[in-house]
Structure 1
Amino acid sequence: MLRFALILTMCFLYIIDAFIASGTVSIFYSILTVIVFFTSWLLLEKKSKIFTLSLLIIGMIIHYSANGRGLALFQGITQNMPLLAILILAPLLSVPLKREGIIGSTVSYLDELKNNPRNIFYGLSSVMVIVSPILNMGALRIVHGLVENIKIAPKILSKSYYIGFTPAVIWSPFFASVGIVIFYLDITYMSYLPVGIAFALIQLICGMLLFRPKALKEQKLDIPNLPQLDDGQKKHIFLLISYVFLIIVMLISMEQWLHKSMLLLVSIICLSVPMFWFIVRGSLEVLKNEFFLYKDKVLMQTKTEICLFLSAGVFGNAISNTPVKAVIEQTMQWASVRSVGILFIFIVVCVTILAMIGVHQIIIIPLILTALISADIDIHPLIIAFMCIFSWMLSAAISPLNAMNIIISSCVKRNGVTVAYKWNGMYFLFTSIAALTYVYVLNFMLS
């Protein structure tokens, strides 16, 4: 319980520190973040302990070798806290959906589609498209927990998860890919949204049409016609879509009103929406049950992410003050002079290769962004944002060492290479070509 209390307090202090410019709050917040890191680190497996502690120690060595001062080190330990807060708090948004029976009712319809691979592919992908923008990685765990007893072929399951989930990584402010990029580029989410949502729709439509299972000849195989949604299921699907839409609208409105970071606003929404639901519809018994369920999830499912994000903040902040940044900067300048396409390919290849050897995107993307900003490259910020976000999505999907690939491969009980390359390799190749084309179109329109 103490660890859980420390984690929640850390998230609250992050929000308070963003609104109250107090040196005392900032110092206490930084110290608490260090305490949370080490209390979570004790729970990790041996490999994760070695990796995250190595990041922290190397970051500290680099920081002081580059004549960094003691207090400046704390800027690194809290650097990725905006993203970590979202990861910790986002599962709370699923509470109203589960308690109102919305997700359960929606998924129950999939059970009626299980005998037709194409229909179950469309149905499951559609559910994932709706819930993933606000539930982040939790969408994979929640939806799979509800459909794992339905006999769905692993290959179809993996295609549904990837095609339904990956578009959200391109446009949703609940994902670190979007949040960190718009934060570093200092652009509003509203300005990026049309760029992200347009490609997400292209990606989704292409995936749905080109990679769907073959249609069954229903008359010969005696497969029943597509079942109809009953009134209750229609109502719940409408409520689910409305819930997601209203949250996105709230975020955009708050950004225009408060002029605060989208990352901060997402964390506030993750807390306020479930709290409002408990006041209106909940009870003390429900609150108690959900509290203990949430506590267990936070302690068991986010301990690795907590240590990774905090240690990566120290490492990334330290590296940004070394000659490595200058090397990346020069390479970016060289690539951008050749063409925007070469720059895009370089970023994708760089991020993907590093992700394949275990270097998280949260380390390399900020370095690339700071290098691009420092180099004063003559490319529209929205194009840079898309290139970095797409690279994050692609590398997270195909690297067996990244959370998305790990979760999907564990859900379908196959290794990450089989799931990402053998079963979905054509999808990622196709989307990469589409993204390259999209970059050229954006450059033509925005230049």
Structure 2
Amino acid sequence: MRSYIILIMCLLFLIQYFLRFAWLDYIVAGLAISAFLFSVIRVRGFLRVISLFMMTLGIFLEFNKGAGIQGVSQGILLILPLVCLVTLSPLISIPLKLEGYFEAVNSLLRNLLHHPKRMFAGITTSLFILSPILSLGSVRLVNEFLADLKIPSAMSAKSYLIGFSTAIMWSPYFASVSLVLYYLEMPVGKYILYGLGLSFLSLLVGNLLFAVWERQHPLNQNALPEIDLESNQRNKLIKLALFVLILISTSLTIEYVTKWSMIVIVSLISLIIPLIWGLFNNGWARLCPHWQTYKEVSIPMMNNEIMLFTSAGLLGHAIQGTSFANDVSYLLTNIAGTSLLLFSIAVMAIILIFTYVGLHQIAVITALAMQLNPEEIGISTLALAMLLILSWATSTVLSPFSGLNLMVSRFVGKSGFEVGFHANGLHLSVVSVIGIFIIMIIR
């Protein structure tokens, strides 16, 4: 029942995006609240507490501002595109799984087992390619491939976080890029080359630092047999990379021609691709079991995302215009007038502090994106977008409450601090310095 509510909510949102019926806003918002409540019932622990706290505080602030139910509805509707994106995007992976592309990735990683530096490059590059399609599922998938290979925990912690975090910086299929650019009203096409450039630099820095680390901590993998990569598997890897390239290019082209929101474009593509695959491959019978799995397993597994995104989005919207938000905006604007470097450091520090104590990136960065005016600060929208997205990627790795950090910590058996700061602190520091340097150039 809950899965149907979420899917109907997503479909009605897409319909409402084009038809703009005022009465439909309240129906969609009501379905979103229902999905949130269903998720809260099923989740336990700190995530449930922080989500209820953010939702309660967001509602309180909306009523305190005098916005009332309409303000709550607007806050939920602002974050709903992201909820739809997270819900629908896993559908893209179904045809890829049926065509055997993921098994080709598995064979590649096993083939590189006896070459630690190549293995590290293979893991980070695989995550760079797979993460826009599978989100956190890419980390889970790669970890399943490597589960019986006894990869050192330090290598896993570094490769998983570096590979995944690069996608956070560039992919329009990620909340970081789509949401920040959505609120800053900036087309993805004007940002993506800069995001890709920063991602490639992050990937390069991560692999170089691992090469230095591996020289001091040599890895012995000679106990396991070496596996050759067959030609058909190489072809599938090439096709997988081309698929991602075509997917991104198609999204950018549609955005350029139609001026639609990238989040909506991605959601529509996620729905259409499995249908096209089934039509041209006569694969409806093969699709049905995966559709059932998606409906009965994948959507219920999104409790954390739906709960956190809805509550954090409402809180981010509710904070806008409060005296606290105005004071922070005034402070940052004054700092920017003194030094762009200090402004960049201050923004990153604010985001890191709030996310490290448990607030989701969406709440903090949404509030900043809606509150900060690039013209008043004296920088371009592109520079501000890159700063917020860089901060999002950094805080996702470092915060012990982020979904990525929690997942990798569980996989490698280490604490969130060890996985974040200890394993990846140097990499993040170098990438942050490079990112801020680029921001100061394009200001």
Q: Same fold (TM over 0.5)?
A: yes
Question: Offset at 1:404?
Answer: 1.3
Is the CA contact (8 Å cut-off) linking 1:341 and 1:439 kept in structure 2? Answer: no
Is the CA contact (8 Å cut-off) linking 1:335 and 1:343 kept in structure 2? Answer: yes
Q: Quickly say closer, same or farther: Cα 1:118–1:21, change in 2 above 3 A.
A: same
The AA in structure 2 aligned to 1:347 is V
Question: Offset at 1:113?
Answer: 2.4
Is the CA contact (8 Å cut-off) linking 1:170 and 1:178 kept in structure 2? Answer: yes
1:77-134 deviation digits (Å, cap 9, x = unpaired): 2221111111111211111111111111221122132233223212222211221233
1:163-191 deviation digits (Å, cap 9, x = unpaired): 22211111100111111111111111110
Q: Quickly say closer, same or farther: Cα 1:225–1:313, change in 2 above 3 A.
A: closer
Is the CA contact (8 Å cut-off) linking 1:118 and 1:215 kept in structure 2? Answer: no
- 2:230 alignment counterpart: 230
C-alpha distance in 1 between matches for 2:71 and 2:426: 45
C-alpha distance in 1 between matches for 2:122 and 2:67: 53
- 2:343 alignment counterpart: 343
- 1:287 alignment counterpart: 287
Question: Offset at 1:24?
Answer: 3.0
- 1:66 alignment counterpart: 65
Is the CA contact (8 Å cut-off) linking 1:173 and 1:189 kept in structure 2? Answer: yes
Question: Offset at 1:299?
Answer: 4.0
- 1:29 alignment counterpart: 28
C-alpha distance in 1 between matches for 2:203 and 2:111: 23
* 3-state SS of 2:139 partner: helix
Q: Quickly say closer, same or farther: Cα 1:194–1:116, change in 2 above 3 A.
A: closer
Question: Offset at 1:45?
Answer: 0.9
Is the CA contact (8 Å cut-off) linking 1:333 and 1:377 kept in structure 2? Answer: yes
Deviates more, 1:220-229 or 1:383-392: 220-229
Is the CA contact (8 Å cut-off) linking 1:251 and 1:262 kept in structure 2? Answer: yes
1:257-316 deviation digits (Å, cap 9, x = unpaired): 211111111111111112211222253432221022212433442112112211222222
Is the CA contact (8 Å cut-off) linking 2:374 and 2:384 kept in structure 1? Answer: no
Is the CA contact (8 Å cut-off) linking 1:135 and 1:174 kept in structure 2? Answer: no
Is the CA contact (8 Å cut-off) linking 1:117 and 1:156 kept in structure 2? Answer: no
C-alpha distance in 1 between matches for 2:397 and 2:322: 30
Unaligned residue ranges in structure 2 (runs of 5+): none
Is the CA contact (8 Å cut-off) linking 2:399 and 2:405 kept in structure 1? Answer: yes
C-alpha distance in 2 between matches for 1:299 and 1:249: 27
Q: Quickly say closer, same or farther: Cα 1:123–1:354, change in 2 above 3 A.
A: same
Is 1:151 the counterpart of 2:131? The answer is no
The AA in structure 2 aligned to 1:138 is G
The AA in structure 1 aligned to 2:313 is G
- 1:12 alignment counterpart: 11
The AA in structure 2 aligned to 1:20 is L
Q: Quickly say closer, same or farther: Cα 1:316–1:54, change in 2 above 3 A.
A: same
- 1:432 alignment counterpart: 432
Question: Offset at 1:46?
Answer: 4.6
Q: Quickly say closer, same or farther: Cα 1:293–1:196, change in 2 above 3 A.
A: same
C-alpha distance in 1 between matches for 2:232 and 2:245: 20
Is the CA contact (8 Å cut-off) linking 1:211 and 1:427 kept in structure 2? Answer: no
Q: Tell me the C-alpha RMSD between the 2 structures.
A: 2.3
C-alpha distance in 2 between matches for 1:385 and 1:134: 22
* 3-state SS of 1:424 partner: helix
C-alpha distance in 2 between matches for 1:101 and 1:225: 23
Is the CA contact (8 Å cut-off) linking 2:83 and 2:309 kept in structure 1? Answer: yes
Unaligned residue ranges in structure 1 (runs of 5+): none
Is the CA contact (8 Å cut-off) linking 2:50 and 2:358 kept in structure 1? Answer: no
* 3-state SS of 2:78 partner: coil
- 2:88 alignment counterpart: 89
Question: Offset at 1:205?
Answer: 1.2
Is 1:194 the counterpart of 2:205? The answer is no
* 3-state SS of 1:70 partner: helix
- 2:241 alignment counterpart: 241
C-alpha distance in 2 between matches for 1:311 and 1:282: 41
The AA in structure 2 aligned to 1:391 is S
Q: Quickly say closer, same or farther: Cα 1:228–1:299, change in 2 above 3 A.
A: closer
Q: Quickly say closer, same or farther: Cα 1:30–1:224, change in 2 above 3 A.
A: closer
- What aligned pairs does 1:200-219 form with structure 2 within 5 A after superposition? 200-212=199-211, 214=214
Question: Offset at 1:31?
Answer: 1.8
- 2:423 alignment counterpart: 423
Q: Quickly say closer, same or farther: Cα 1:321–1:103, change in 2 above 3 A.
A: same
The AA in structure 2 aligned to 1:329 is S
C-alpha distance in 2 between matches for 1:318 and 1:166: 28
1:120-166 deviation digits (Å, cap 9, x = unpaired): 21222221122123322221122222222222111112222122221
Task: Give the TM-score taking structure 1 as reference length.
Answer: 0.93
Task: Give the TM-score taking structure 2 as reference length.
Answer: 0.93
C-alpha distance in 2 between matches for 1:360 and 1:77: 15
Between the aligned residues of both structures, percent identity stands at: 28
- 1:132 alignment counterpart: 131
Question: Offset at 1:385?
Answer: 0.4
- What aligned pairs does 1:45-444 form with structure 2 within 5 A after superposition? 45-212=44-211, 214=214, 229-281=229-281, 283-373=283-373, 376-443=376-443
C-alpha distance in 2 between matches for 1:374 and 1:385: 10
* 3-state SS of 1:72 partner: helix
Is the CA contact (8 Å cut-off) linking 1:397 and 1:420 kept in structure 2? Answer: yes
Which portions of structure 1, spanning 4 or more consecutive aligned residues, are displaced by more than 4 angstroms? 220-228
Number of matched residues?
440
Is the CA contact (8 Å cut-off) linking 2:25 and 2:77 kept in structure 1? Answer: no
1:379-427 deviation digits (Å, cap 9, x = unpaired): 0110000000000100011111111111222222222111112222211
The AA in structure 2 aligned to 1:240 is L
Q: Quickly say closer, same or farther: Cα 1:282–1:429, change in 2 above 3 A.
A: farther
C-alpha distance in 2 between matches for 1:322 and 1:63: 10
Is the CA contact (8 Å cut-off) linking 1:4 and 1:298 kept in structure 2? Answer: no
C-alpha distance in 2 between matches for 1:76 and 1:369: 14
Question: Offset at 1:74?
Answer: 0.7
The AA in structure 1 aligned to 2:254 is M
